[in-house]
Structure 1
Amino acid sequence: MARSFSALAAAVADELGAVMQRVDEHEVQDLLERLLAAQRVVLVGVGREGLTARGFAMRLAHAGLDAHWVWDDTTPPVGAGDLVVAVSGSGRIPHIEAVMSNARDAGAATVVVTAAPDGITAAAADARVFVPATAYLASGDLVASIQPMGSLFEQSVFVLFDSLILMLMAERDLNFSDLAARHRNIE
Structure 2
Amino acid sequence: MNQTKNSMEIIGNHIKEASSELEQEMVNEFINKIKEGNKVFVLGAGRSGFVAKMFAMRLMHLGFNSFVVGETITPALSSEDTVVAISGSGETSSTIKLAKTTKENNATLISVTSNRDSTLSSLSDNIISVKSEFSNKKIDKTKIAPLGTLFEITALVLLDSIVSQIMKTKDISEEYLEEMHATLE
Q: TM-score range by the shorter chain?
A: over 0.9
- Asked if 2 retains the 8 angstrom alpha-carbon contact of 1:31 and 1:111, the reply is yes
TM superposition shift of 1:10:
2.2
Matches within 5 A, 1:4-15: 4-15=3-14
Which residue of structure 2 aligns with residue 19 of structure 1?
A: 18
Which residue of structure 2 aligns with residue 180 of structure 1?
A: 178
Q: Percent identity?
A: 25
Aligned mates of 1:20, 1:163 — CA distance in 2: 10
- Asked if 2 retains the 8 angstrom alpha-carbon contact of 1:54 and 1:69, the reply is yes
Q: TM-score if structure 1 supplies the norm length?
A: 0.91
- Asked if 2 retains the 8 angstrom alpha-carbon contact of 1:91 and 1:116, the reply is yes
Residue type of the alignment partner of 1:149: L
TM superposition shift of 1:141:
5.1
Aligned mates of 1:23, 1:70 — CA distance in 2: 27
Residue type of the alignment partner of 1:98: K
Q: CA RMSD in A?
A: 1.6
CA separation of 1:8/1:97 partners in 2, compared to 1, >3 Å: closer, same or farther?
closer
- Asked if 1 retains the 8 angstrom alpha-carbon contact of 2:103 and 2:123, the reply is no
- Asked if 1 retains the 8 angstrom alpha-carbon contact of 2:45 and 2:94, the reply is no
CA separation of 1:13/1:79 partners in 2, compared to 1, >3 Å: closer, same or farther?
same
Which residue of structure 2 aligns with residue 34 of structure 1?
A: 33
- Asked if 1 retains the 8 angstrom alpha-carbon contact of 2:47 and 2:152, the reply is yes
Which residue of structure 2 aligns with residue 43 of structure 1?
A: 42
Bigger mean CA deviation after superposition, 72-81 or 157-166: 72-81
Q: TM-score if structure 2 supplies the norm length?
A: 0.92
Which residue of structure 1 aligns with residue 88 of structure 2?
A: 89
Q: From 150, 153, 168, give the equivalent of 2:151.
A: 153
Which residue of structure 2 aligns with residue 168 of structure 1?
A: 166
Aligned length: 182
3-state SS in 2 of match to 1:43: strand
Aligned mates of 2:124, 2:7 — CA distance in 1: 36
3-state SS in 2 of match to 1:84: strand
Which residue of structure 1 aligns with residue 127 of structure 2?
A: 128
Unaligned runs of 5+ in 1: none
- Asked if 2 retains the 8 angstrom alpha-carbon contact of 1:15 and 1:143, the reply is no
3-state SS in 1 of match to 2:165: helix
3-state SS in 2 of match to 1:56: helix
Unaligned runs of 5+ in 2: none
CA separation of 1:143/1:41 partners in 2, compared to 1, >3 Å: closer, same or farther?
farther
Aligned mates of 1:114, 1:143 — CA distance in 2: 18
